[in-house]
Copies of this chain bind each other. A is one copy, B any other.
């Protein structure tokens, strides 16, 4: 958990392979490094996808050529992720413009997001936050409701990022989003994804499913910013086919604080109490209004995804 955010995890994994190849560029270490890196985070597919992509190139090269090529590929993949984010920003902007127009261009465009899918989770720009930044730059008065996102409080990161970019925002606890949607205080939701199935199910930070249910119940569009690096074409059903990472209960028991006394953990549960910590949940495709990919916006269906990514058939 030193690196977080599916796209950034993928890029970091590739740099990890490059580092391993500087130590020892044998087939054995190549395979061992790839396997070890992929095991660190079971849910996000970007990691496996990117590591496999690099391994497939390196395995056909002579060992002495691997270290340099691995580093080249890592730089190239990092640049590619920046490009994906920029194109997601552009395609997402069209959705934001439509929502703003539908609202009569009055007041603020109220956006709700969960977790952090901004530049702290990618190489630059972000996925879910990329269209937020672009809409803000284009003069749409965006305001973001930032879910706290227990237990790791990634809302802290999102609020911090938005502040750096000058985007108005308000932090709320994870329990509050449903009430806001009931009261008409949310015009659209947008979140990232750690893994998207070929049929449009979305696995993202735990709690995403609850917000998707509330959006559906209140007819609020629920968008998922899904770079193709997050799509796992091999699986259809997110509920049964995606392993959900279970993390240390410590994350529930302890919270980080950073004040005048410095950064430290404090206990927030009674001593002796058990806790469980499931890190992700699956939002079924039926609750997703649209996927925002680098090639455009599509319905969260197999047909929708294949219309933009015909190569997904392979």
Per-residue CB contact flags for chain A residues 150-192 toward chain B (1 = under 8 Å, else 0) read 1101011001100100000111111111111010000000000
Contact between A273 and B163, CB atoms less than 8 A apart: yes
Q: Within 8 Å CB of A276, what residues of B?
A: 170-172, 176
Q: Within 8 Å CB of A149, what residues of B?
A: 175
A237 CB to nearest chain B CB (Å): 12
A interface residues, tally (CB under 8 Å): 55
Contact between A269 and B213, CB atoms less than 8 A apart: no
Contact between A275 and B171, CB atoms less than 8 A apart: yes
Alpha-carbon distance A277/B160, docked complex (angstroms): 19
Of A160, A177, A217, most B-chain CB atoms within 10 Å? A217
Per-residue CB contact flags for chain A residues 293-310 toward chain B (1 = under 8 Å, else 0) read 000000000000000000
Contact between B182 and A282, CB atoms less than 8 A apart: yes
Q: Within 8 Å CB of A205, what residues of B?
A: 175
Contact between A173 and B150, CB atoms less than 8 A apart: yes
Nearest opposing residue in chain B for A213, CB measure: B213
A239 sits at the interface (CB 8 A): yes
Given A156-B270, A278-B179, decide whether A206 and B169 contact each other with a Cβ distance below 8 A: no
Interface of A is mostly: mixed
Alpha-carbon distance A275/B144, docked complex (angstroms): 11
Contact between B178 and A273, CB atoms less than 8 A apart: no
Q: Within 8 Å CB of A268, what residues of B?
A: 153, 156, 255-257
Nearest opposing residue in chain B for A260, CB measure: B267
Interface residues of A in 200-230 (CB under 8 A from B): 205-207, 209-211, 213-214, 217
Of A156, A205, A211, A213, most B-chain CB atoms within 10 Å? A213
Contact between B275 and A267, CB atoms less than 8 A apart: no
A244 sits at the interface (CB 8 A): yes
A311 sits at the interface (CB 8 A): no
Contact between A150 and B170, CB atoms less than 8 A apart: no
Alpha-carbon distance A273/B164, docked complex (angstroms): 11
A266 sits at the interface (CB 8 A): yes
Contact between B209 and A278, CB atoms less than 8 A apart: no
Q: Within 8 Å CB of A124, what residues of B?
A: none
Contact between B174 and A275, CB atoms less than 8 A apart: no
Given A163-B272, A171-B273, A173-B277, decide whether A210 and B214 contact each other with a Cβ distance below 8 A: yes
Please list the residues of chain A having a beta carbon within 8 angstroms of any beta carbon in chain B. 148-151, 153, 155-156, 159-160, 163, 169-180, 182, 205-207, 209-211, 213-214, 217, 239, 244, 252, 255-259, 266-270, 272-278, 280-282
Q: List 21 A-B contacts (CB under 8 A).
A: A149-B175, A150-B175, A156-B268, A159-B269, A159-B270, A159-B273, A170-B274, A171-B275, A172-B276, A172-B277, A173-B206, A176-B206, A176-B277, A178-B209, A179-B209, A179-B244, A179-B281, A182-B281, A255-B255, A257-B268, A258-B267
